[in-house]
Amino acid sequence: MRTLIKNGTLVTASESYRADILIEDETILAIEAKSSASANMVIDADGKLIFPGAIDVHTHLDMPFGGTVTADDFTTGTTAAAAGGTTCIIDYALQTPGKSLEEALQVWHERAEGKCAVDYGFHVAVTDLNDAVLAEIPELVEKGYPSFKVFMAYKGVFQVDDATLLRVLKTSGEAGGLVLVHAENGDVIDVLTKEMLAKGQTEPLYHALSRPPQAEEEAVNRYITMAALAGAPAYIVHLSDGGALNRVAEARLQGLPIYAETCPQYLFLDLELYNEPDFGGAKYVMSPPLREAGNNEYLWSGLDSGNLQVVASDHCSFNLKEQKELGRNDFTKIPNGAPGVETRVQLLFAGGVLENRISINKMVDLVSTAPAKLFGLYPQKGTIAVGSEADLVVFDPHMPFTISADNQHQNVDYNPYEGFRGQGVPIKVLSRGTLVFDNGRYVGKAGHGRFQARKSFTAI
C-alpha cells in the first residue's frame, strides 16, 4: 500500500519546508520536493501543515483511582487521542502494594490489548519497594519499559518515602532508565487538608488551597537533590508552578540532567475556576492544582526557554456526574484529574503558536520530538524522515474550532476548556501509514494501536 501526501508544508522540530511524502505500508519511503510516484491513495495537503504524530507521554486510561475508575478506557481515550493528532500515548501501569511490577504491567497490558486506536507504551509506577521489586527495574529497562514513576504525594495511597526515591533513582540510573516524579510534599498537604476539613472547608477550592505552590517547589527541590546524589537523570511530571520551574532552571544551569513537563491546564486555566458555582469547581480538581493566573505566562516562558521540554496532557477523566460528585461534601473525595488528550495539540497551536508565545517548530518539539527522544521512541516516531514510521498529522492552520463536550471524542461529560475558540484543526491523522481520523470522523479501528517497546534513556 502506497500513500502520497502532496503539496503540504512539513513541520519538524527544526525546520518547515514544502515537500511531498511517499509512504509505503507503515513507513516513510521518500520525501521529495515534487514526487511523481504512483500511489493507492493521494492526499492533497495544499495549504496544510504536516506534523509528526504527537506523542502524549502522560495519560491514565482505565485507571482505578479515588474510589472509581477513569471515564475513558483505552478505546475511547486513544480514539480521542487520534482525533486530536496524537498517534502514540504512554500510560502508567501502577504497582499494587505487595505485588510485582511485572504483575502491574500484565494488568495494564490486558486493559489495553486489542483496544487501542493508536500506539501505546507504559511507564511503571513503583508504590511498594523491596529488594525483589528493585531487581525488576533493570530487567524492565531491557524489556522496553525504560521509565519509572514515583509519587511524593497521595499519602497513604501512592506516596513513597525518600529512601525509596533514592533507591529507585540509583537503580534506574545505572540501568539506563528515567525516573518520573509527581512532585508535591504529601505530608505537608496532609496536615493542611486535615486543618481545612476540621474548619468545615470542604468545597473544591480547598483542594487547591491545601496544595500550595510551596508544597510543589519543596518536593521538586528535594527530588532534584536526590537525583543529583544518585547521579541519575530525572523528569518531573505535570509541573505547575513558577517557583518549581525556577528550581528546575537552576539545576539545568548546573548541567544536571533534569527534565520537566507541563500540561495545557497549567498554561490555560487558573485558580479562579475553583469558584465556579454549583460544584463546578470540581471539574478542575487535579493535582497539582491550578495556580494563580500570573503563573501561566511564566510556564509559557519556560517552554520557550527550554527549561520545560515536554507538554503532556495528564489525561485522567472523571465525569462530573456520579464521579466528581463523590466529593460534593468533602473535596478529598473528588477523584483527581481532568481530560485533555484530545485538545493538547490544538490548544498549543492556537494559544501558543498563533499568540506568538512559541514557534511552530518548538510546538512540534514539545508535543512530539522531545517526548520521542526522552522516552526511547526516536527516530521511528517524533519526526518526519525517510525510514520513520508514517505517524503524520495533516493540519489545517486556518480552520476555526470551538472546544466543547458536545463535539469531543473523550468519554466524559464535560470539557475543562468548554467554549475555547481558536484556529487550527487536525483534519487527517495517519498512524503507521493507516488513516485513522479523517475530517472530523474516526475511521480507524480499535486494535490497530500496537504496544511500543522503548529504548533506554538518552539525554537530550
Among 48, 115, 167, 182, interactor with Zn ion by CB under 5 A: 182
* CA distance linking residue 105 with residue 124, whole number of Å: 7
The least CB distance from residue 225 to Zn ion, in Å, is 20
DSSP label at residue 338 = B
First to last CA, the chain: 35
* CA distance linking residue 310 with residue 259, whole number of Å: 8
The least CB distance from residue 313 to ligand URP, in Å, is 10
Among 86, 287, 309, 313, interactor with ligand URP by CB under 6 A: 287
CA dihedral 292, 298, 299, 303 (to 10 degrees): 170
Q: Which is nearer to ligand URP, 186 or 444 (CB)?
A: 186
The partner in contact with residue 115, picked from ligand URP, Zn ion, none with C-beta cut-offs of 5 to 8 angstroms by kind, is none
Point out which residues pair with 28 in neighbouring strands: 23
Find the helix or strand (DSSP H, E) in which 82 lies.
helix 74-83
Binding mask 298-327 for Zn ion (x = CB under 5 A): ----------------x-------------
* CA distance linking residue 299 with residue 309, whole number of Å: 11
Among 105, 126, 245, 286, interactor with ligand URP by CB under 6 A: 286
Q: Which of residues 146-185 bind ligand URP (CB under 6 A)?
A: 182
* 316 binding ligand URP? (CB under 6 A): yes
Q: Which is nearer to ligand URP, 20 or 216 (CB)?
A: 216
Binding mask 233-252 for ligand URP (x = CB under 6 A): -----x--------------
Among 8, 337, 376, 382, interactor with ligand URP by CB under 6 A: 337
The least CB distance from residue 228 to ligand URP, in Å, is 24
DSSP assignment string, 406-432: GG--SSSS--TTTT-EEEEEEEEEEET
Q: Which is nearer to Zn ion, 314 or 396 (CB)?
A: 314
Helix pair angle (213-230, 162-175), 10° resolution: 50
Place of cell 514557534: 359
Among 78, 87, 193, 336, interactor with ligand URP by CB under 6 A: 336
Among 3, 4, 60, 233, interactor with ligand URP by CB under 6 A: 60
* CA distance linking residue 433 with residue 25, whole number of Å: 6
**Residue whose beta carbon is closest to Zn ion:** 182
> Are 245 and 260 in contact, with CB atoms under 8 Å apart?
yes
Residue 40: burial class (beta carbons within 10 Å; 0-12, 13-18, 19+): exposed
Q: Which is nearer to Zn ion, 155 or 448 (CB)?
A: 155
* CA distance linking residue 257 with residue 190, whole number of Å: 31
Greatest C-alpha distance within the chain: 73
Among 119, 136, 218, 314, interactor with ligand URP by CB under 6 A: 314
The least CB distance from residue 141 to ligand URP, in Å, is 22
Q: Which residues of the shown chain bind ligand URP in the complex (CB under 6 A)? A: 60, 182, 238, 286-287, 314, 316, 336-337
Q: Which residues of the shown chain bind Zn ion in the complex (CB under 5 A)? A: 182, 314
